[in-house]
């Protein structure tokens, strides 16, 4: 079922999604964010603002919601 998940599932998904997004120009970082539901979490992906409208910015990954945050302050990892 899609929706927020327990921390263990979200941590595993975070690691996989980070590998999948690595090297993409829009990708700035990924984290875990709490939800209003107790002990359930979602993913939070930081994206360069120029990526608005990009088709490959995820809004869900492995059934876990992805909050997309557009922030230009960060540079791509490894840059």
Structural domains present in the chain = 7-70 (3.30.1340)
pLDDT tens for the 79 residues of the chain, in order: 789 999 999 999 999 999 999 988 889 999 999 999 999 999 999 998 887 766 788 899 999 999 999 887 656 555 5
Instruction: Give the three-state DSSP class for 36.
Output: coil
Rounded-to-integer distance, Cα 72 and Cα 28, Å: 8
Query: Cα–Cα–Cα angle for 72, 74, 75, nearest 5°?
Result: 105
């Amino acid at each position: 079922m899609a929706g927020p998940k327990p921390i263990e599932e979200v941590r595993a998904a975070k690691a996989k999604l980070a590998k999948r997004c690595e090297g993409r120009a829009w990708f700035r970082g990924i984290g875990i964010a709490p939800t209003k539901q107790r002990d359930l979490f979602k993913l939070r992906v930081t994206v360069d603002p120029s990526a608005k409208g990009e088709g490959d910015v995820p809004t869900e990954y492995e059934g876990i919601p992805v909050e997309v945050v557009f922030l230009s302050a960060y540079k791509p990892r490894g840059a």
